Amino acid sequence: MATSFYPTVVPLKVSNLPFRLLKLKESFIAKFGSAPKFYVRAPGRVNLIGEHIDYCGYAVLPMAIEQDILIAVEPVKTEVVQLANTNSSYLDFSTSVNNIQINKTKPQWHNYFLCGLKGIQEHFGLNNPTGMNCLLDGTIPPSSGLSSSSALVCCAGLVTLKANGKTLSKVELAEICTKSERYIGTEGGGMDQSISFLAEEGTAKLIEFSPLRATDVRLPSGAAFVIANSCVEMNKAATSHYNIRVMECRLATKLLSKSKSLDWKKMLRLQDVQASLGVSLEEMLTIVEEVLHPEPYSTEEICKCLGISLEELRSQILSQNTQNVSTFKLYQRAKHVYSEAARVLEFKKICSEAPDNAIQLLGELMNQSFISCKEMYECSCPELDRLVDICLQSGAVGSRLTGAGWGGCTVSMVPTDKLNTFLKNVKKAYYQNDGQRLALENNGLFATKPGRGALVFVEA
């Protein structure tokens, strides 16, 4: 069992440094004129099932992947953080550690680092935080739904923790990084940060919230999980799709609560409604059918249902970047969330009980999840739809979008004896005849296994 406190430090002999670390060290010396004192790694993740429900209070089922963010760090005596990236398309950045400004209008790479840095600073009330030189190397495709942004926030949080000689539990660090990513305007729920810190090699995790906890989920041995990148980029912080869905779920929570005479002003998440009523997820789906209508709700109708003014709706409920949205789909979003929450629990149950037809059953749940994401949550896109179809035709028993959607990746469950044929067929059908996709194909189509969580490396 991995230690539950950070920083977890792994000593590495200089003669045993992996090639990537050696290369990063050389680049750091060339850039800053001195050697890094330590390295921090935070992995990306793939969510196997449970999309768009963490911010509604429901459990999700991700695993860490091999692709990661790796940062070489040298604490310095100046009050400056200097950030550089091995990818020359990401510009250098420097700022005073005592004056962290995060620009929500431009979600550039360095702003995600600043989120993690600011989160740790504020948690500890650091008056004289340590300055740092940092060089970043990332292998997670950006805006692909594999959590490159959150991995950077988590990595920066752990960098700041180590550089300032502080200690936190993994759960505390995950919760701080979840909150601090909101500095950039993303109303996330905590799955990405939680798996980045709580992941363990060889097992997926059921991540539950309030309180945050992680349970091992042993995946069936006869299947591989394959990630395929649609090559359509979607940045959660740069678009409003994601935050509109968060608000639609919040509004559905308010209307459902009001209809059941609950204290709707205190209710924020769909899970709160279920917990207050003490009913099953299936019963919540029936209540959704009874209370909400499939037609979009105007802001006027919402105000009328809740007995509030438009000004109160905007100032008390809607987020800053959803103020001008005029219609919201509440029935569809609530229906997806409650049904998806049930699928997550069923997925975990099947993995635990391991019936003979487990692979088939899990695949069916993944397919149901994708249909709900596409039709009820409307977070797919034509390229993802096509890629899922190709994956199913190529031998996957289940395939779905993973991450926020509107682009990014699919995850498919493939029987191991069909894996090579599957990879060949998907490559031919989706990547082969498109130059841009073919360029990304080596990093965009791969089988993955559950990886380990974030770590600090030092030279022994």
Task: Answer whether 228's CB lies under 8 Å from 430's CB.
Answer: yes
Q: At 63, phi and psi to the nearest 5?
A: -145, 150
Integer CA distances (angstroms), 246 to 272, 405, 447, 453, in order: 15, 14, 31, 27
CA angle 96, 38, 73 (to 5 degrees): 25
Task: Answer whether 129's CB lies under 8 Å from 123's CB.
Answer: no
Altogether, the residues listed in the chain come to a count of: 460
How large is the greatest C-alpha to C-alpha distance in the chain, in angstroms? 70
In which residue are the tokens 């059921």 written? 206
Q: Amino acid letter at 367?
A: N
Active site residues: 192
DSSP labels, 290-305: HH--SSPEEHHHHHHH
Task: Answer whether 50's CB lies under 8 Å from 60's CB.
Answer: yes
Task: Answer whether 238's CB lies under 8 Å from 186's CB.
Answer: no
User: What count of Cα atoms within 13 Å lies in the side-chain half-sphere of residue 84?
Assistant: 19
Helices (H), 128-239: 148-163, 170-181, 191-198
Helices (H), 223-357: 241-259, 270-277, 281-291, 299-306, 310-316, 330-353
For the chain, the first-to-last Cα distance in angstroms comes to 23
Instruction: Say how far apart CA 25 and CA 36 lie, in whole Å.
Output: 7
How distant is the alpha carbon of residue 245 from its chain centre?
A: 15
- Among the listed residues 249, 259, 288, the one whose alpha carbon sits nearest the alpha carbon of residue 58: 249
